[in-house]
Amino acid sequence: MDKQIVGIHHITAICGDPQRNLDFYAGVLGLKLVKLTVNFDDPGTYHLYYGDGVGHPGTILTFFPWPDAPKGRAGNSQVVQTSFAVPVDAIGYWTDRLTQAGVAVSAPGTRFEQPVLSFHDPDGMGVELVGTDSVAENRAFAEGPVPVEFAIHGFHSASLAEEAYHRTAELLTETMGFRLSAEEAGRCRYVAPGAGPAGVVDIMCAPERRQGRMGVGTVHHIAWRTPDDEQQLAWLTDIQRQGHNASPVMDRKYFHSIYFREPGNILFEIATDPPGFAVDEKREELGSHLVLPPWLEPQRENIEAVLPKLQLPGAWREKP
């Protein structure tokens, strides 16, 4: 059957203090807290989901807050830059906003003829804002603290650091349907079929770069979009046939997932678009309270006693 990887579904990272993470991504970057839940495999830990107003695939950045985990180190075999799309004329606004918030930003640069603003989140994870003329208009959180004309419109791309990129590039192009679109300064850019929102991934080949170490301030895995369960099963069969040790389908409540390691050892996930984040709460209530899956609901009292209290963002707007 025909099957397609549409682009990035979500990116999941590790942070330290959950309140600090929430204040930065919802308060400074103006993303919507789409879902407040727990790590299904470690229910004593939050799982924070940020995105646009409804959590469209391609806008979702998630975090496991592990305050006691060791500090990670960015390097090969990792996603080292998580890049969001903003309107091309918004870079000046973001330079001022981040500077005023005490975030150290590099002078805006240019990559593949697009303006790029690079910085780190409070835990040291690499984040970028890429100015583009082709932002998806319905992928911004219009009720957040950032005026919609400057707001983040989901992901632009992700950058993978690899010691040797050829086998990863072959997986992207020969199996997942990406095509090589450009090369620049040791960076190869690949675009998903259709080249829609969040449809870009860069491979950075740096044999001299040290190996990354998983921990606070690093990306845990990157997930790719597939439209439905039927296509996901076809991907699972294909991935296993190629010799990758892929997981069975896992029910993550808001999407279904399979996992495998790509040749450079980055953890890849293929996630379905449905059922989405409104499956267990109304859209207007997304992110407003702790949501647990049915199998953990009987443990709610004990789970809430363990989790740190959070001051959740409301609907607000600052003056630009």
Does 2 reside within a domain? Answer: no
Tens of pLDDT, residue by residue over 29-74, are 999 999 999 999 899 999 999 999 999 999 999 999 999 999 999 9
Tens of pLDDT, residue by residue over 197-254, are 899 999 999 888 899 999 999 999 999 999 999 999 999 999 999 999 999 999 999 9
- The amino acid present at 99, given as its one-letter code, is T
Does 320 reside within a domain? Answer: no
Does 86 reside within a domain? Answer: yes
Does 317 reside within a domain? Answer: no
Tens of pLDDT, residue by residue over 296-311, are 999 999 999 999 999 9
Does 313 reside within a domain? Answer: no
Work out how many domains the chain is built from and give that number: 1
Does 311 reside within a domain? Answer: no
Residue 192: give its domain's CATH number: 3.10.180.10
Does 172 reside within a domain? Answer: yes
Whole-prediction pTM value?
0.95
Query: CA-to-CA distance for 143 and 32, rounded, in angstroms?
Result: 9
Residues 6+ apart with CB under 8 A from 24: 121, 122
Does 1 reside within a domain? Answer: no
Query: CA-to-CA distance for 183 and 125, rounded, in angstroms?
Result: 24
Judged by DSSP in three states, 182 sits in strand
Query: CA-to-CA distance for 278 and 51, rounded, in angstroms?
Result: 13
The H-assigned helical ranges of 57-144 are: 91-100
- Provide the domain limits for residue 111: 8-306
Query: CA-to-CA distance for 224 and 190, rounded, in angstroms?
Result: 14
Query: What tokens were used for 149?
Result: 């004309």
